[in-house]
Amino acid sequence: MRIRCPYCGERPSEEYTYLGDARPNRPQTSDPSDMDAWFDYVYLRENPKGMLLEYWHHSGGCRSWLVAERNTETHEIHSTVTARSYAKGQRG
């Protein structure tokens, strides 16, 4: 599998570290009344079949964080964007 880094170009997946699903939103507070939201955020993740947005760290290269859109059935990477751009809503 090859992943396109916005800074380094297309590189082998061995240069990257996988973090996981990029879709869940982190709870905004650490108030004890929100512990259920934290539990859900940390432990309850879906394992969908098909397209998924995932965090990847280019640990063997420029050390940037990326969000890749990957097909979980074929492992084909459809697009990548910096995690910063993803967070700002600039996807694709």
Rounded CA gap, 3 and 70, in Å?
10
* Tens-digit pLDDT profile for residues 50-73: 999 999 999 999 999 999 999 999
pTM of the model: 0.79
Return d(Cα 60, Cα 28) in angstroms, integer: 32
**CATH number, domain at 57?**
3.30.2270.10
User: Exposure of 29 by Cβ count < 10 A (0-12 exposed, 13-18 middle, 19+ buried)?
Assistant: exposed
Comparing 3-7, 16-20, 57-61, 87-91, the range with the smallest average pLDDT is 87-91
User: Which tokens hold the place of 20?
Assistant: 């996981």
Domain assignment present for 61? yes
Residue 28 lies in a domain: no
CA atoms within 13 A on the CB side of 35: 2
Number of domains in the chain: 1
